[in-house]
Amino acid sequence: MIAVPSSRRLIASQTLSTTAASVTFSSIPTGYRDLVLRWSNRYSTAADYTNVQVTFNGTTTTYSDTTVAAFAGSSTFSGRRTGQAYIDRIYVAGANTTANTFASAEIYIPNYTVSTNKPLSGFSTVENNSSTVNIIAATAGLWSNTSAITSIGLSVPSGTFDIRSSFYLYGLLEA
């Protein structure tokens, strides 16, 4: 189990007992300064990996992201996208990876209740116990909307999150 500093409070968690096309954290309370969402997951489609798509408050407009990723060996990727329906390039392991190997990720959302655009930083890893599919990625995202974040949705472009995928939402208290 990951040690959590006392300034973090678990708001909600979900561990899937059946596959699911999406996971949503809704009715996120105010009273925290920042949010942290951590997960350990894989998805059902026969592929090495895919992206987790992140949305806020059920909206599918005005997202942008920039990602830098290193893949197995010396392959790298960097890219920027604007005007998207979600933030993605936060990676999840696919069904082609080693059985029972889950990807891990964390997104940090500062000042989720203030009346400004909402940035996030995300970090993800996919490990395959081999040299063919290993990824580490850093993503900076922006939701160009001044509404407070009251829900967070996670989905994959096709297939489902696998059984035993787990998701934890924390609120960070003022220091």
Q: Determine the average pLDDT of the residues in 142-159.
A: 96
Q: Is the pLDDT of residue 3 over 70?
A: no
pLDDT digits (tens, 9 = 90+) for 61-77: 999 999 999 988 778 98
One-letter amino acid identity for 153? G
How are beta strands 76-84 and 87-93 bridged, if at all?
A: unpaired
DSSP string, 88-148: EEEEEE-TTSSTT--EEEEEEE-STTSSS-EEEEEEEEE--SSSSS-EEEEEEEEE---SP
Q: Is the pLDDT of residue 96 over 90?
A: no
pLDDT digits (tens, 9 = 90+) for 33-55: 999 999 999 999 888 889 999 99
